[in-house]
Amino acid sequence: MLPRRAAVLAAGALLWLALPAVAAQEAEVALRIEDPRIVESSGLAVSRRHPGVLWTHNDSGDAARLFAVGRDGRVVATLALAGVEARDWEAIAAGRDDRGRPALFVGDIGDNQGLWPSITVYRVAEPAQLRDAAVPVRRYRLRYADGPRDAEALLVDPRSNRLYVASKDEAGGGLYRAPARLRTDRVNVLRRVAAAPPLVTDGAFAPDGRLFVLRDYQQAHLYAAPGRRVGGFMLPLQVQGESIAVEAGGRAVLAGSEGFGSEVWRVPLPSSAIPRAAPTTRPPPGPAPPGGDRPPGDGPRSWPPAALLLGAVPVAAVLLVVVARRRR
């Protein structure tokens, strides 16, 4: 598995060199997650209640808890999910509860071996006040109509509050849609509605629901609807790019990575890639994106074009060497 995955990553690094990377060139670090408890930030969601706040969580091996991260990268609140075990948490998405109030959906959807008969999504209310608390949970069990899948991407359509899961497969995954109304007294069936790129690590809808994005380790893919890809762009090189969210204004994505002190990059959406989805009028002023209030002297750090190229060359070279050695 390692040589094949390394080959995919190496090819992606070379593609990153060959394709125009306008969006990545304009990217900047929005914040660095400064908390020793967060070492595997695997999912990312923009708060619908608290401007500038991001929700994240660790991958497997941690307690069942969510972290609210402020613009300075520090944790401002921790939510403990009562009675829940974090088996393989991979994604988080913002949505609504049954009364239309802001809620968070957490996807325990990782299945590296493709063996679990069902997966679990937890729903918790997004608190009106940011403070440490234990919160009640609504639990939904889901299964794929065509058999178990590994997945790391959970999306919620803001227009319908409907859940989508994108499976992760080196040969190409699938986008699966949950029922319009989830049940707690039975297993809900996920049905495939479109193909997905290989090695998808996360996904998210734009706030208006007219656009969604799926990311892999190096590229973001834009869709106007399931199966209708309208563009794509390269992401900054990250240690292990795992998460993505669309900022509140809908003009950029926020791309996160695993690792201690991981950076969250703000990458503008290329207007040429979304000619029909981009708004035609200038949006009204809204809250500043994460990273807007930085400490003095800690300005945005962006990728100059030369740094982009120089950064991708060694990554591609190292990955190709790994492939060659493994094959030998």
Kindly tell me if the per-residue pLDDT of 9 is higher than 80.
no
d(CA 55, CA 34): 14
Q: How confident is the model at residue 23 (pLDDT cuts 50, 70, 90)?
A: low
Least confident piece of the model among 121-125, 197-201, 215-219, 237-241: 237-241
Q: Rounded to a whole number, what is the distance in angstroms from the first to the last CA of the chain? A: 15
- Averaged pLDDT for residues 185-208: 97
The CATH number of the domain where 250 resides is what? 2.120.10.30
- Averaged pLDDT for residues 146-175: 97
278 vs 31, higher pLDDT: 31
Pairing of the two strands 54-58 and 41-46: antiparallel
Q: Is 325 among the domain residues?
A: yes
- Averaged pLDDT for residues 202-219: 96
Q: How confident is the model at residue 24 (pLDDT cuts 50, 70, 90)?
A: low
Same domain, 211 and 146: yes
Same domain, 38 and 182: yes
**What is the torsional sign of CA 283, 286, 290, 296?**
positive
Kindly tell me if the per-residue pLDDT of 125 is higher than 70.
yes
Kindly tell me if the per-residue pLDDT of 104 is higher than 60.
yes
Q: Is 86 among the domain residues?
A: yes
Pairing of the two strands 138-144 and 188-196: parallel
pLDDT in tens, 281-309: 444 444 444 444 443 334 445 444 434 44
Kindly tell me if the per-residue pLDDT of 20 is higher than 90.
no
Burial status of residue 313 (CB atoms within 10 A of its CB: 0-12, 13-18, 19 or more): middle
Kindly tell me if the per-residue pLDDT of 226 is higher than 60.
yes
- Closest of 153, 172, 258, 248 to residue 208, by C-alpha: 248
Residue with tokens 């990955």: 319
Mean of pLDDT over the chain: 83
Structure confidence at residue 308 (pLDDT) = 42
- Averaged pLDDT for residues 156-174: 97
Same domain, 8 and 96: no
Torsion from C-alpha of 44, 46, 48, 52, nearest 10 degrees: 130
Q: Is 61 among the domain residues?
A: yes
Cβ of 87: how many Cβ atoms within 10 Å?
15
| Percent of the chain clearing pLDDT 90 (strictly above) | 71
241 vs 285, higher pLDDT: 241
- Closest of 14, 39, 21 to residue 239, by C-alpha: 39
- Rounded to 5°, the CA angle 37-213-229 comes to 160
Q: Is 286 among the domain residues?
A: no
Pairing of the two strands 163-167 and 91-96: unpaired
Structure confidence at residue 108 (pLDDT) = 97
d(CA 175, CA 151): 10
- Rounded to 5°, the CA angle 121-172-164 comes to 25
Domain count, the chain: 2
Structure confidence at residue 261 (pLDDT) = 92
- What is the longest distance spanned by two Cα atoms in the chain? 59
70 vs 277, higher pLDDT: 70
Same domain, 21 and 118: no
| Percent of the chain clearing pLDDT 70 (strictly above) | 75
Q: Is 297 among the domain residues?
A: no
Q: Is 110 among the domain residues?
A: yes
Q: How confident is the model at residue 25 (pLDDT cuts 50, 70, 90)?
A: low
Least confident piece of the model among 26-40, 121-135, 179-193, 299-313: 299-313
Kindly tell me if the per-residue pLDDT of 147 is higher than 70.
yes
Q: Is 294 among the domain residues?
A: no
**Domain of 10, in residue numbers:** 1-26+302-328
Kindly tell me if the per-residue pLDDT of 275 is higher than 50.
no
Same domain, 184 and 321: no
Same domain, 149 and 85: yes
Structure confidence at residue 97 (pLDDT) = 97
Question: 5: left (phi > 0), else alpha (psi -120 to 50), else beta?
Answer: alpha
Structure confidence at residue 31 (pLDDT) = 96
Same domain, 107 and 153: yes
Q: Is 293 among the domain residues?
A: no
d(CA 66, CA 190): 25
Same domain, 222 and 316: no
- Contact indicator for 231, 253 with CB cutoff of 8 Å: no
Same domain, 145 and 182: yes
Q: Which own/partner contact pairs does 95-100 have at CB distance under 8 Å and 24+ positions apart?
A: 95/123, 95/156, 95/158, 95/161, 95/163, 96/161, 97/123, 97/125, 97/138
- Averaged pLDDT for residues 217-222: 95
Structure confidence at residue 61 (pLDDT) = 83
Same domain, 217 and 124: yes
- Contact indicator for 190, 117 with CB cutoff of 8 Å: no
Same domain, 307 and 262: no
Burial status of residue 190 (CB atoms within 10 A of its CB: 0-12, 13-18, 19 or more): buried
Q: How confident is the model at residue 272 (pLDDT cuts 50, 70, 90)?
A: low
Same domain, 43 and 159: yes
d(CA 280, CA 278): 6
Structure confidence at residue 267 (pLDDT) = 97
DSSP code of 268?
E
- Contact indicator for 115, 155 with CB cutoff of 8 Å: no
- Closest of 227, 266, 219, 200 to residue 19, by C-alpha: 219
Least confident piece of the model among 167-171, 217-221, 271-275, 302-306: 302-306
d(CA 20, CA 234): 8
